[in-house]
Amino acid sequence: MKRTALTIMAALLTVALLIAVNLQLDSSFNNIKFSQQNMKKDHNQKKPLPKNNSYICQQNLSAANMPGFSSFPSGIKDIFYYRHCRNFPVLLDLPGKCGEPGKSEKIFLLLAIKSASLNYDRREVLRKTWAEERLYNGVWIRQIFITGKHSTNFEKQELLKLEHQQYNDILQFDFEDTYLNLTLKQVLFLDWMEKNCQNFRFMLHTDDDVFANTDNIVQYLQSLKDNDGGKHLYIGSLMSGVPIRNSQSKYFIPVQMYESNKYPIYCSGGGYIQSAYTALTIHKMSQSIPLLPMEDVYMGMCLAKAELKPAHHMGIKVFGLRMGPKKFLPYDPCLYKEVLLVHEFSPGQIYVLWKSIHNPSLKCGSKKTFPLGP
C-alpha cells in the first residue's frame, strides 16, 4: 500500500513539477534568444558555418572497389570512405574544465554525456538534476556535454555558442552528428580527454535521456576500497551478440567491416562507468582499431584487445525497470532512489524523479531491490 500511495503521490506531483521545469526552461531559453537578438542584423540571415581549414580529410576512393560496396546503404559507404579520419577540429572547447595540468585529480566523477546539439531542453534539465556540478559526499562531480554538428544553419550554431558561453560545459566537434558517427564522437572525446583531462578518478559515459542517480554512483565508487581510479573498472549492462548482416537494419554491419560472426562481450552504450585507468587504456587501444559504427561494441573490442573484461552491475538498467519480460515498473521514487542508472526518459520525467527521490518527506521500506554492489 505504501508503494502504491507513493506512486500516486508522484503522479499527482508530475503536472505541477512539469509546469515548473517548463517555465524554467522557457526562461533560460528566452534569455539565450534575447542575447542572440542583440547581435548584428546580418547575423539574422542564414549563413553557412565557417569552414575550418586546419583539417581536410581525403575520401578513401579505393573503398568503392571492395566486393558488394555498391549495395551498401549510403551511411555505411561513408564509414568506409572516411573511417580513417580522426582529427576533426573542436568548434566549442573546454580549456581548463578539468583544472590546471596536474590538478584535475580533484574531479572524482566526470560525467561524459552524449548530446545532440539541438537538445537544449535535455541539457538544461540535467544541469538542474543529476548532472549538476557539485560537491557531494566530499568529492567533486563535473559534467561535459559532447556533441557534433547537425546542420549548417548559422542561427542554431550561434544559439549553441551562447549556451556554451553561459554554462561552459559543451564540447563540440566539427563532424556530422549521426547515429553512425557515435563511435567517432567517443573516439574524439577520448583523444580530447587524453590531452586535456587525464587525472579524474572515474567517468560515467551516458546519453542525455537517462536518469542517473549520481549520489548512488559516488557512494558505490567510494565503497571500492582497492580502486581509486588507478585500476581497471568497466561496469554496465552486459551484452553479447552477433553482427546484423541485413542491410535494411539500423545495426547493419557488413562482413567487410567486421569479419567475425560474434561480438566481444560489451556494456550497452546507454550508460557505463569506468575508471580513469580503463578510459586511458581504451583510448590507447582505439588508435589501432578501425572504427565500427556501434559505439558500445567498439568499446568492447578495445577492452578485448587490452585483455580487460567488462562487468555487470544490477543497478544499471538500460532497458528500464521491469517486473517481467514486458511489464515496466511504475515510476515509484523508492525504486529509483536505489538504482545507479535507468534509460530512457523525457526531460520532464527526469526532473520529476530527481525531485521525488530527494523529497525529505519520502518514506521507503528498508528492503533494497537494487543494492549498490555489483
- Domain borders along the chain are 61-316
CB count in 10 Å sphere of residue 305: 16
Helix H or strand E encompassing 348: helix 347-357
Closest CA to 316 of 288, 360, 274: 274
Cβ neighbors of 51 (< 8 A, separation 6 or more) are none
Instruction: Kindly state the DSSP code that residue 69 receives in the 8-state scheme.
Output: G
Where b means 16+ CB within 10 Å and e means fewer, 215-234 reads bbbbebbbeeeeebbeebbb
CB count in 10 Å sphere of residue 150: 16
Would you call 325 exposed, middle or buried from its count of C-beta atoms within 10 A (0-12, 13-18, 19+)? exposed
Helix, strand counts (H, E) of the chain: 10, 14
Q: For the whole model, what pTM was predicted?
A: 0.85
What type of residue is 197? C
CATH domain 61-316 topology: Spore Coat Polysaccharide Biosynthesis Protein SpsA; Chain A (3.90.550)
Closest CA to 348 of 130, 125, 108: 125
The secondary structure of 102-133, three-state, reads: CCHHHEEEEEEEECCCCCHHHHHHHHHCCCCC
Is beta strand 170-176 parallel, antiparallel or unpaired with respect to 139-149? parallel
- Please answer whether residues 279 and 190 qualify as being in contact, where contact means their C-beta atoms are separated by less than 8 angstroms: yes
Closest CA to 188 of 75, 265, 112, 252: 112
Q: Digits of tens for pLDDT over the chain (374 positions)?
A: 444 444 444 443 444 444 444 545 555 545 554 444 444 444 444 333 334 444 678 999 999 999 999 999 999 999 999 999 999 999 999 988 887 655 545 899 999 999 999 999 999 999 999 999 999 999 999 999 999 998 667 788 899 999 999 999 999 999 999 999 999 999 999 999 999 998 899 999 999 999 999 999 999 999 998 999 999 999 999 999 999 999 999 999 999 999 999 999 999 999 999 999 999 999 999 999 999 999 999 999 999 999 999 999 999 999 888 766 656 666 789 889 989 999 989 999 999 999 999 999 998 876 565 555 55
Up-side HSE of residue 335: CA atoms within 13 Å toward CB? 20
Closest CA to 338 of 300, 306, 302, 369: 369
- Please answer whether residues 275 and 227 qualify as being in contact, where contact means their C-beta atoms are separated by less than 8 angstroms: yes
